[in-house]
Amino acid sequence: MNALQISAVTRPMKDLLYRAVRKVRGSTPPPPQDTWLLDNYDPTTDWLSYANAGMLHVGNRYCFDYAISHLPSHAPIVEIGSFCGLSTNFLTYYKKRHGRENKIFNCDRWEFENTDKSSPLDELAITHAEYRAFVKDTYTRNVEFFSRLDRPHTIEMFSDEFFSAWRDKSESTDIFGRQVQLGGPISFCYIDGNHSYEFAKRDFQNCDEFLEPAGFILFDDSADDSPFEVNRVIEEIKSSGGYEVVVKNPNYLLRKL
């Protein structure tokens, strides 16, 4: 029974089937997938997603779960782009689920595209500045609520600024007012920032500089039919010989060789 068949089963039975599949699957890495077939139904993540705004593809849940359960060390997890905190809260949840103590660092300035132009928000008499403040406040409340026992170190920077500070091993202050030391190796990086080729490639290069062997990178919106230029970066990585595709679900989870 594959995940698409499991999805047609009632939820209580689906939960039992999911646990059985996980027990059989054990720690054996799944083969690369050509389509979105891998499903890890979990009522906790469903309840989280009901209340936490966000645009996270449900297939990324499996990728988070897999990567965190196979982390090569206790090195930090880095998330590029946070929006309203949905992916951040999933990361902290899967950490708890697998008993991992890796710190989470993420970065976002909550400054969105085309802020100097008109937008659909004009119909609601909402400015970009008001929208930005609302989204940042929503992120903060969501993380303080759902990740209250394991808040990430959220740095209000663009990814280039963040990695420059990481490279310099700078001390920074996160949005919760905590002083934190940046720098060192990374075990897993979730890239969900600017999806243009230039920015996505630079985010990859920055992550690759610090990602340790057997570490993971997950690219959001990287499915083969995605309209974003992240796909160009994926093709270059695949042909480089430095990474292997672990899961395509439909987004790409890669492991450094």
The C-alpha atoms of residue 106 and residue 162 are separated, in whole angstroms, by: 9
Q: Find the distance separating the first CA and the last CA of the chain, reported in whole Å.
A: 32
* CATH of 41-256 given 3.40.50.800, 3.40.50.150, 1.10.150.120, 3.20.20.80: 3.40.50.150
SS3 category, 40: coil
Q: Mean pLDDT of successive 10-residue segments in the chain (257 residues)?
A: 36 41 44 57 91 93 96 98 97 97 97 75 90 96 97 97 98 97 98 95 98 98 95 96 96 98
Beta-ladder partners of 80: 107, 191
The interaxial angle of helices 230-240 and 197-210, nearest 10 deg, is 40
Q: Record the pTM.
A: 0.85
Task: Find, among 61, 71, 69, 9, the residue nearest to 38 by Cα.
Answer: 61
Say what the pLDDT of residue 41 is: 78
Say what the pLDDT of residue 6 is: 33
Say what the pLDDT of residue 7 is: 36
In sequence order, the 6+-apart residues with CB closer than 8 A to the CB of 249 are 33, 36, 37, 38, 59, 60, 62, 63
Give the start-to-end residue ranges of the domains of the chain: 41-256
